[in-house]
Amino acid sequence: MQLNIIQGKIQESQADTLILNLFEGVTTPSGATGVVDKALNGAISEMISSGDLTGKPGEVGVVYTRGAIPARRVLVVGLGKPEDLNLEGVRQAAGAAIQRARDLNAKQVATVLHGAGAGGLEVGAVAQAVAEATLLALYRFELFKSKPEPKGEIESVTIVEAGEIAAAEAGVRSAESIAAGVYLARDLVNMPPNAATPTKLAEVAQEIAAAHGMKITVGDRQWAEQRHMGSFLGVAKGTLEPPKFIILEHNAERTDLDAYVLVGKGITFDSGGISLKPSENMGEMKSDMAGAAAVLGAMKVVGLLNLPLRVIGITPCTDNMPDGAAYHPADVLTASNGKTIEIISTDAEGRLILADALVYAGQYQPKAVIDLATLTGACVVALGSWTAAGLFSPDASLRDQL
């Protein structure tokens, strides 16, 4: 799909579908929505007065133009109350609208920048938010389907901006890089465990390194043994899949820069080990490497944007399996810093591989370490079943930014 930016008037766009917006409580549309409403002889106003269009967040109304303007249809997405609108609201609105456009088999779509006018949000930030939502909302994973579903695809999305084109372009370019990283992470998480093996994750890391000039280290069992990574290797004992301890370094030679380290849990399949999980829903444990996938995706973004930072991505990757060589409950493992760890459950393997990864991170004397993991179901027990993620940080500033 092509993502374009032009300067102009959206009502003149040759796209088959236009995306406009409406704040909750507005009875007479203004701005681009007002201009199109006038061109359509008040069709949008009629929907508002009839109660079919309220401007509530995520609501999408459809108006057919019947030749009054070049576009075939107009989608009007709700932004909620003006005082509540922020960039996340922009993303949600843009995502809802583009998915509705796809459902209607739109091919060429033109959209305004939601909130950049009456909403008072900065043009570049809004352009990035709209582009991110557009790209991410259209994501699909069909790699292993023998016959992909016959669904319509949007061919192009054009952002129409009246003034600050340079800022909008910069925002869109950033969004494209971020979306590429998210697509990579989603693809890896969606892959079956016989495809997204530690070897596969290492291959992906090598591709990132080659494309963006990063330093890469892929440690095998022997490499980890030489570094006394008994915690990581303890988990890897029970699997035939070769474990991989992956380190990607952006601006590795820039020792004058503060180091920021991303650490991601890479359990490519978690059976629970000898403390075997119930067989029901065990297949979901293919996604226990989502932390590593997120770090690899983030490192791809770092490379695409060529950030002026020193960033290190560390992903310890292995299966957790229960064969005859597997570690046992009551074993004592020794991590690379000499700490001994008594095993209560082999299904608490994530913290073991992360332990050696975090010790390894210490050699960079990092300004910050961000650790990402599908670590424990106890997070949901503690915080509630609707929890998206748990976040802990001893640094309030870093916590708030995350």
Three-class SS of residue 48?
helix
Pairing mode, if any, of strands 340-342 and 332-334? antiparallel
CA angle 175, 176, 178 (to 5 degrees): 60
DSSP 106: -
C-alpha–C-alpha distance, residues 330 and 328, integer Å: 6
Q: What is the 3-state secondary structure (H, E, C) of 198-259?
A: HHHHHHHHHHHHHHHCCEEEEECHHHHHHCCCHHHHHHHCCCCCCCEEEEEEECCCCCCCCE
List the end-to-end C-alpha distance of the chain, in Å, as a whole number.
Answer: 30
Residues 38, 81, 277, 399: which is the catalytic one?
Answer: 277
Catalytic residue among 100, 351, 367, 399: 351
The span from the CA of 369 to the CA of 372, in Å, is: 10
Given a contact cutoff of 8 angstroms between Cβ atoms, the answer to whether 274 and 329 are in contact is yes
Residue 277: active-site member:
yes
Among the listed residues 108, 91, 269, 127, the one whose alpha carbon sits nearest the alpha carbon of residue 188: 269
Residue 129, classed as helix, strand or coil, is: helix
Residues 6+ apart with CB under 8 A from 208: 214, 248, 296, 299, 300, 303
- Establish whether 173 is a catalytic residue: no
Closest alpha carbon to 291 in 207, 349, 209, 365 = 349
Report the catalytic residues.
Answer: 277, 351
